[in-house]
Amino acid sequence: MIMRTALSSDWLAMVLGSLGGTGDEVAQTLRRAKATGTPADIWDDPVAAYIRSRTRDLLPPDTLVAVMVTADDVAVSTISASLDPDDYQEVLAETPSPVEDFLDRFDAGEDYQDLAHQQVL
């Protein structure tokens, strides 16, 4: 029997906490997961990509998932592709300090630029 974890603020906080204890550890976790993103884009940074991927593992394939990551908190919103308002869910968790450190350095272009989307010319 496969046990599925429900999407919740506690689950989100656990996933964010498991990214690592320092900005460098967060970057390593994101590298292993092949999560990339755009610097200074709260909807499409590597942390948002990682959380989106982990969230999709919990939900039916037709679910739309949006993730917003800021220095203060991370919000995950989901809705069924049927767009039934009763299927809408949003969870929120505080951004841990190591994730904030990673984001500050990634967004400033100081570190972790290997995790930025590669531009196609």
* Displacement of CA 111 from its chain's centroid (Å): 18
Q: Which helix (H) or strand (E) holds 65?
A: strand 63-69
| pTM strictly above 0.85 | yes
Q: What is the pLDDT, as a whole number, of residue 2? A: 42
Query: Where are the chain's structural domains?
Result: 9-110
pLDDT in tens, 45-87: 999 999 999 999 888 888 889 999 999 999 999 988 776 667 7
The arithmetic mean of pLDDT across residues 25-38, rounded, is 97
For residue 39, give the H/E element and its range.
none
CB 103 within 8 A of CB 47: yes
